[in-house]
Amino acid sequence: NLDLSFSTQLMIAATAVLASIGSAAIPSAGLFMLVVVLGVVPEINPMYIAIILPVDRILDMCRTVINVTGDATVSSIVATFEK
């Protein structure tokens, strides 16, 4: 029940994009980056992350599988072009 202005939504999106650049290779970094992203907007309490905490481990494993699969795919494509 919180209406965010368009500028606040843009600020959240920009912070999320900048935070995601360096955190993809770090396990469980998504939860800590969420604190940073939610900390940008004073109307949102970063303690709401406690709701996400129980299921974050499962979601983190899924993100890790996607990251590793993408890295392996790109590495194999680059390796075939180098031959």
pLDDT digits (tens, 9 = 90+) for 5-47: 899 899 989 988 888 787 767 777 778 888 888 888 887 787 8
Burial of 37 (0-12, 13-18, 19+ CB in 10 A): buried
Average pLDDT over residues 76-80: 95
The rounded distance, in Å, linking the Cα atoms of 78 and 74 is 6
In contact, 4 and 41? CB cutoff 8 Å: yes
The torsion angle over the Cα atoms of residues 69, 72, 74 and 79, rounded to 10 degrees, is: -160
C-alpha 39, offset from chain centre: 14
